[in-house]
Structure 1
């Protein structure tokens, strides 16, 4: 597991996937903490669309956190409100000078909502592709955190997505998301393990989870913040 923590603490475009409650945001917070220790001048900007007060401490090492609870109140909030708020966050991030990292939590939810409007979808697609393609040379990095993302679309293209590191957390209690991911290109064919093998790896974990990163699977340890 130390290899995974080392991987995620390297500054790189990253997609962290996993079903609800698997510890995606917690794992990301460990990566941010390590990054800030290594590169104190790095500006970490978090767009939090869930705003769960029980998880606010995950962002203790971030420099800027913008929170609004859209996931539970979307019926009371228009899609235009969501778009304008997210666009404002992107504009604010764009104005930051120096090396910077943009983290979007609940990315699955965001892409799902923006897919309902072709203009919003096009805008978000353009933002993602731009950061993935030229962000590294500009010192701007993107982390997406979500259950899964229907990103393998012709608008974005796998050539852009392949730039991202991919981290997947699989809970033995919920393998449906793993089945979906296995139908994508994020995991090479020779690393798509059977359900039996995933269960065996998860059985070695105190939290009953298996983690994939950089071509390797390993049991997930207990992650706790001091």
Structure 2
């Protein structure tokens, strides 16, 4: 099929999640490379894909050209992402990026259990696209920042009115992250003790309680 661009062979890797992105139109597969011990993003570019291209034909072509990448990817998930990409191209979905979906084991691999997906660390992704938004929220009950409301009993202007302890700032939008940073900066400046304030101590030193435990030998300064 014209427009299918070859990427690195994924025969030795194991697919973990699948998604799509728009520029260029691509099916994106997240794979774990056991040789390197890290996750890698594998885009399969479909440059000539059209909104009315036969989905089953596109799927067969992808599997033919990238058997290693598609191993373990259920047919329903691959075709679903192709359809979603086509719908987006036709203007029926305003998606700006993608969310990678955990793969469902195919009928042939149901006995081959997939270990829980580890958190994606930026340094462990091989040339990721900035359009890719990894969805790693499974099992994480912390709500988005926009769901956090001021506490009813919080004092006006008090940093306690915004509880960020239950928010994973790695998973919020850029706007929400800036808002959180602004609130934390306000809290820092509000609680900062400056020269001339009551309780200000110049060159304050604190001995930490070791709870009666003897000091540990670090080993590097024993001489």
Q: TM-score, normalised by structure 1?
A: 0.28
Q: TM-score, normalised by structure 2?
A: 0.28
**Greater RCO (CA < 8 Å, at least 6 residues apart):** 1
